[in-house]
């Protein structure tokens, strides 16, 4: 068994960023080349790449592409271009907060280079520092995934049947994945009997991506429609539900892929522990509660068309909130790279925030 999954969502190539086109997986492997920050923003918006941690990483590389875009005469010229790229990338997905976190981390370099330990910078120097930092964002995410995996696997019983939603693996992060990393680590420790993967309509990340990753990693699994989760919670033994997160508010309320809230209510009804796994960068202490998290509404056509086939009558009005918010009282624990937070989250998340992050 490999130490890391075989799959990668993106590959940095110094003057360009390659994105694995997740829209055509698992049937085709197509790499898209991004040469500008707006290529990256479009890739995020059009879901070529998705998954909050992966989006943070690729947005960071988007900034690097902006910094290297042309031979800037002055740092001011470059700064204007970088601010423009910052805004454009930030708007590409409003709910995920890792995007903002990664962008703000890079912005420190061009706005306050002294806090980064650098005092005199040329445009080329800024670009070099940004690239180093973007690589660090990626490497850290990989390390955070491993820690989340270890901490989460310790929470699962032996011979566990675990239900997961959407895709949270190596296609959604830089490494093992978040919730998927927990499953992967627990499977390595012989703790997993089987994974139940919900297909995750409308985008089918569960059926297309998680099933593919589970297959590649030889983890036993069953695919179900989202509507079957309650039935199997009632009729079979399910030991835990584990999901990722796009943003976690200060009180623990968690925005994640649409359908997550439904699973949390159903898990609670069936007395099944419900876990969230995410890098600590997903925790946004400036967002007080879930009510303050903007929910991205995407095109109705993404609901009424499946893989190029129309599934509803013409002119059907469909809704498409891409995310929902799970109130913290339905969450048993939030597994982060800094440790496992338990209720009350307002305190436990603040404690983890104040804990010095272990940097690599």
Which one of 37, 72, 101, 261 is in contact with a second copy (CB under 8 A)?
Answer: 261
d(CA 105, CA 169): 24
Which one of 149, 181, 202, 252 is in contact with a second copy (CB under 8 A)?
Answer: 202
75-134: which residues touch a second copy (CB under 8 A)?
none
CB of 267 to a second copy, least distance (A): 10
Site membership for a second copy, residue 215 (CB under 8 A): yes
Do 276 and 245 form a contact (C-beta atoms < 8 A)? yes
Cβ-based nearer residue to a second copy, 148 or 242: 242
Which one of 13, 70, 80, 231 is in contact with a second copy (CB under 8 A)?
Answer: 231
Which one of 68, 142, 208, 247 is in contact with a second copy (CB under 8 A)?
Answer: 208
Spatial CB neighbours of 164, under 8 Å, sequence gap ≥ 6:
179, 180, 183, 195, 196, 197, 198, 206, 210, 241, 242, 243
CB of 159 to a second copy, least distance (A): 18
**Residue 260 phi, psi dihedral angles, 5° rounding:** -65, -45
Q: Which residues of 70-91 are buried (b: 16+ CB within 10 A; e: fewer)?
A: eebeebeebbebbeebbebbee
Q: Which residues of 239-263 are buried (b: 16+ CB within 10 A; e: fewer)?
A: bbbbbbbbbbbbbbbbbbbbbbbbb
Do 266 and 229 form a contact (C-beta atoms < 8 A)? yes
CB of 114 to a second copy, least distance (A): 45
**Tokens coding 5:** 């999954």
Site membership for a second copy, residue 20 (CB under 8 A): no
d(CA 115, CA 121): 13
**Tokens coding 324:** 């929902």
d(CA 103, CA 56): 8
DSSP conformational letter for 321: B
Site membership for a second copy, residue 324 (CB under 8 A): yes
Which one of 108, 223, 296, 346 is in contact with a second copy (CB under 8 A)?
Answer: 223
Would the CA dihedral through 258, 264, 267, 269 be positive or negative? negative
Count of residues in contact with a second copy, rule CB under 8 A = 51
DSSP 325-359: EE-GGG-SEEEETTEEE-SSHHHHHHHHHHSPP--
Site membership for a second copy, residue 284 (CB under 8 A): no
**Catalytic site includes residue 246:** yes
Q: Which stretch binds a second copy (CB under 8 A): 56-64, 77-85, 298-306, 333-341?
A: 298-306
**Candidate list 141, 239, 246, 284, residue with the active-site label:** 246
Site membership for a second copy, residue 258 (CB under 8 A): yes
CB of 226 to a second copy, least distance (A): 4
Site membership for a second copy, residue 193 (CB under 8 A): no
Site membership for a second copy, residue 227 (CB under 8 A): yes
Site membership for a second copy, residue 357 (CB under 8 A): no
Cβ-based nearer residue to a second copy, 285 or 311: 311
- What is the set of active-site residues? 246
- Give residues in contact with a second copy (CB under 8 A): 26-27, 198-202, 204, 207-208, 211-212, 215, 221-232, 234, 258-259, 261-262, 265-266, 268-269, 303-304, 306-313, 315-319, 321, 324
């Amino acid at each position: 068994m490999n130490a890391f999954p075989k799959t990668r969502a993106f590959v940095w190539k110094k003057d360009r960023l390659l994105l694995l086109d997740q829209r055509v997986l698992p049937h085709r492997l197509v790499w898209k080349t991004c040469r500008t920050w707006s290529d990256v923003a479009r890739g995020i918006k059009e879901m070529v790449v998705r998954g909050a941690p992966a989006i943070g990483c690729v947005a960071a590389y988007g900034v690097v592409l902006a910094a290297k875009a042309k031979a800037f005469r002055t740092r001011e010229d470059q700064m204007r271009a970088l601010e423009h790229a910052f805004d454009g990338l930030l708007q590409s997905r409003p709910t995920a907060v890792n995007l903002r976190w990664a962008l703000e981390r890079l912005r420190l370099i061009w706005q306050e280079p002294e806090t980064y330990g650098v005092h005199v910078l040329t445009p080329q120097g800024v670009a070099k520092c940004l690239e180093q930092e973007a690589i660090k964002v990626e490497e850290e995410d990989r390390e955070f995934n491993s820690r989340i995996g270890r901490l989460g696997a310790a929470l699962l019983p032996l011979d566990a049947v675990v239900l997961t939603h959407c895709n949270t693996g190596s296609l959604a992060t830089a490494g093992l994945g978040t919730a998927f990393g927990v499953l992967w680590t627990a499977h390595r420790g012989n703790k997993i009997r089987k994974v139940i993967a919900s297909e995750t309509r409308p985008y089918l990340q569960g059926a297309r991506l998680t099933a593919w990753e589970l297959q590649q990693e030889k983890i036993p699994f069953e695919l179900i429609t989202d509507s079957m989760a309650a039935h199997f919670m009632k009729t079979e033994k399910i030991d835990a539900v584990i999901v990722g997160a796009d943003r976690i508010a200060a009180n623990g309320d968690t925005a994640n892929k649409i359908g997550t809230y439904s699973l949390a209510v159903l898990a609670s009804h069936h007395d099944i522990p419900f876990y969230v796994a995410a890098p600590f960068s997903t925790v946004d202490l400036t967002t007080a509660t879930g009510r303050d998290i903007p929910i991205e509404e995407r095109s109705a056509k993404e609901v009424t068309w499946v893989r190029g086939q129309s599934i509803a009558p013409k002119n059907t009005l469909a809704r498409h909130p891409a995310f929902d918010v799970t109130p913290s009282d339905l969450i048993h624990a939030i597994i982060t790279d800094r440790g496992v937070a338990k209720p009350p989250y307002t305190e436990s998340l603040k404690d983890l925030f104040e804990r010095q992050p272990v940097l690599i």
